[in-house]
Amino acid sequence: MLKVETLTLGAMQTCCYIVYNTESMEAIVIDPGAQPKKIISAVDLLSVNVRHILLTHAHFDHIGAVDALALHYNCDITVCRHDLELLYDPSLNLSRNFAGDITVSSKNIITVDDSKAELIGSSFEFITTPGHTNGSMCIKTEGIIFTGDTLFYCSVGNDFPPYGSIEREVNSIKNKLLVLKGDYICYPGHGKSTTLDFERRNNPYLHGV
């Protein structure tokens, strides 16, 4: 069984998620955007072992603590291949505009497209949803979707240049998420959680679907 612990980090109030298997006590950290000491303290309180870092996209407020965690836990980092260059470029990951230059120096990078992986004893599916960035992706597992900055409660992510496009983002949501059968809890990159059914019915960006 998987459980999810939510942390809110940094000036941008980014949601970071510690996802852990209650039997093996192995864990994944999704979007460690800032405050690595706070993340490590939360991991220690849970008494779990971090095996992987997953990124929904590579804007600065989702990658700020990646290097510290990758070094501390000696774990790999998974990102969509279309966002790989953002890890290394402060202009593209927007840190130069908001927070000073932030990059990722770790070499333990795994790039993915639409695919599945067995992690911490469960199946995780990477669903590419370009729009907020070219390499934005949602991560689905066991009735849960981590939607990053693609889908929020009654909203969608901003269209920051140079890659952002609300039109592409909405198309990704319609063609990749809303077509999924059944309901899912959606954990976004900022703000409160929601469900896929609720967004199908109420999200103003998705009316007419």
Does the pLDDT value for residue 186 go beyond 80?
yes
- Which sequence spans correspond to the domains of the chain? 2-206
Write down the H helix ranges in the chain.
Answer: 36-46, 60-63, 66-73, 95-98, 166-172, 196-202
Tell me: pLDDT of 25 over 80.
yes
Look at residue 209 in the predicted model and tell me its pLDDT: 46
pTM above 0.75, yes or no: yes
pLDDT band at 203 (very low <50, low <70, confident <90, very high): very high
8 Å CB contact between 199 and 186: yes
Q: Which homologous superfamily does the CATH classification assign to the domain defined by 2-206?
A: Ribonuclease Z/Hydroxyacylglutathione hydrolase-like (3.60.15.10)
Give the pLDDT confidence score for residue 207 in this predicted structure. Answer: 82
Per-residue model confidence as pLDDT tens digits over 60-108: 999 999 999 999 999 999 999 999 999 999 999 999 988 789 999 999 9
Place of tokens 């989702």: 62
Cα three-residue angle 145-148-151, rounded to 5 degrees: 75
Tokens coding 126: 């990477």
